[in-house]
Amino acid sequence: MKMQLTEIANALGIDDVPESWQEITIANVEFDSRKVRPNSLFIPLVGERDGHDFVENAMQNGAVATLWAKNHPNVPANYPTLVVDDPLAALQKLAVYYLSKINPKVVAITGSNGKTTTKDMTAALLETQYNVVKTEANFNNEIGVPVTLLNMNANTEVVVVEMGMDRPGQLDFLSKMAQPDTVVITMIGEAHIEFFDTRDKIADAKLEITDGLKEDGLFIYNGDEPLLRERSKQVEQDQYTFGGNAADDLFASNIQMFRDHTTFEINLVPNQQFEIPMLGKYNVMNALAAIAVAKAYHIDPAKTVTALKDFQLTHNRTEWVSGTAGEAILSDVYNSNPTAAKEVLQSFSQTQTKGERMVVLGDMLELGEKSDLMHMSLSDYLDPQLISEVYLVGTHMKALAKQLATKYEANQVHWYSVAQEDQLITDLKQKLTSDDEILIKGSHGIHLEKVLTALQNA
């Protein structure tokens, strides 16, 4: 972004500003004082810590102006300060103003699983013909979405926005803020079911992403999900489905999985093999969602083939890395829920390996009263003939450990509390060889990235 501070003030309804502020240009917004860059506008948000306490640090790190909540005492007098009712609401209002000013096409993506991967794929395809900005990392909430919009340059033609949710009404708010031209729902799973009770209610909440969809917009969704098929009748805009069946507008066939890539064909481009640099049929579904967007934006199919093969995945999504013993590690330590865990276990079980396959599974969080049952359900996807040893971490994984006792020998299943991760690391390092493969997956709150880092470093 590039705006004069006076323009920002006017956008926020602040008219009486010093004439000298016309000389101040804002190049970016930042709410973390440690990440402030030159010419930043600092946004002091109040969460576990009060951002107002870090305004001075932000200024020292390069910020040239700050917002300030009017009910907060000690308004700074020694640097440009915009006093607002609520800094977060002001950030969101500024994003809406800037979005209207730049006027790009907006692609909004949500789903219980796959939204970050789909966002990365979609941006890669669109970048072959457009100037594209996309959500960085997982900036997909009431803070991250406006920051994404404000990160656009003046020449941005398409912005790809990931939208997350953990409560009803959240996607309604984000969608109405971004006013998307295209919305995508990747799938409905059990993520955050603690807050929604049923998949039906999750589907209702996901459909909120269409609330801000423009009248001439396009709704793209997984047509293999009955909950979405049923709810699509509520959406008046044009629709397009993807999936694994001929009933879908776009569907995949001849899917072949390898350790570090997956190939497939689609009905729209006969006899053309597509390839993605990652494992799993579920990632083919994410690719189909991205291809559907690319089709809507008239991307050359030949460019789609090349861009999908080479796209860069957000760090800590499902990716192969090497351990110090030479073992192949399938890392998926950012998040986990029953649907995602089952899909990756199914794919991992089919990889080719000279040695043994092992898995490290951490607790899946936010599953509510049925958490233990949902953890136990992973048992159906763990076969001792395919996965030789299972390492489980966390309170709820103890239920899965007990369930696996009916099919695994006692010395093949290992349970650890979160506090015992050091012991887990020691045990894994003693066990793993250069011929082995190991999957590491768990909710981010279990911090299995510590295990991953330890296996990658001597």
CATH at residue 28? 3.40.1390.10
Rg (CA), the chain: 24
On whether residue 271 sits in a domain, the answer given is yes
> Torsion-angle region of residue 112: left (phi > 0), alpha (psi -120 to 50) or beta?
alpha
Please check the confidence at residue 195 and state whether its pLDDT lies above 80.
no
Q: Which residue do the tokens 């650890």 mark?
A: 416
Helices (H), 66-129: 87-102, 115-126
Number of alpha helices (DSSP H) and beta strands (DSSP E) in the chain: 16, 21
Are residues 150 and 258 both part of a single domain? yes
| 105 band by pLDDT with thresholds 50, 70 and 90 | very high
On whether residue 128 sits in a domain, the answer given is yes
On whether residue 13 sits in a domain, the answer given is yes
Residues 38, 119, 172: CA angle, nearest 5 degrees: 90
Could you list the residue range(s) of the whole structural domain that residue 14 is in?
3-86
Are residues 181 and 145 both part of a single domain? yes
Please check the confidence at residue 404 and state whether its pLDDT lies above 90.
yes
User: Is residue 6 classed as helix, strand or coil in its secondary structure?
Assistant: helix
On whether residue 398 sits in a domain, the answer given is yes
On whether residue 95 sits in a domain, the answer given is no
Are residues 110 and 48 both part of a single domain? no
Task: Report CA torsion sign: 258, 285, 160, 267.
Answer: positive
Q: What pLDDT, on the 0 to 100 scale, is given for residue 196?
A: 79
Q: What pLDDT, on the 0 to 100 scale, is given for residue 444?
A: 87
**In the chain, what percentage of residues exceed pLDDT 90?**
85
Are residues 146 and 47 both part of a single domain? no
Residue of higher predicted confidence among 316 and 153: 153
User: Is residue 240 classed as helix, strand or coil in its secondary structure?
Assistant: strand
Are residues 256 and 323 both part of a single domain? no
Residue 232 maps to which CATH number?
3.40.1190.10
Are residues 189 and 212 both part of a single domain? yes
Identify the domain boundary among 276, 310, 344.
310
- C-alpha 432/C-alpha 454 separation (Å) is 13
Please check the confidence at residue 30 and state whether its pLDDT lies above 90.
yes
Q: pLDDT averaged over the chain?
A: 94
| 317 band by pLDDT with thresholds 50, 70 and 90 | low
Are residues 184 and 297 both part of a single domain? yes
Identify the domain boundary among 292, 310, 328.
310
Are residues 343 and 218 both part of a single domain? no
* Residues found in the chain: 458
- C-alpha 319/C-alpha 330 separation (Å) is 6
Q: Looking at the 3D structure of the chain, how many domains does it have?
A: 3
Are residues 188 and 239 both part of a single domain? yes
Are residues 117 and 13 both part of a single domain? no
Are residues 305 and 328 both part of a single domain? no
Residue of higher predicted confidence among 366 and 403: 403
On whether residue 163 sits in a domain, the answer given is yes
Bridge partner residues of 392 (DSSP): 361, 415
Identify the domain boundary among 257, 283, 310.
310
Beta strands in 413-457 (DSSP E): 413-416, 437-441
Are residues 65 and 174 both part of a single domain? no
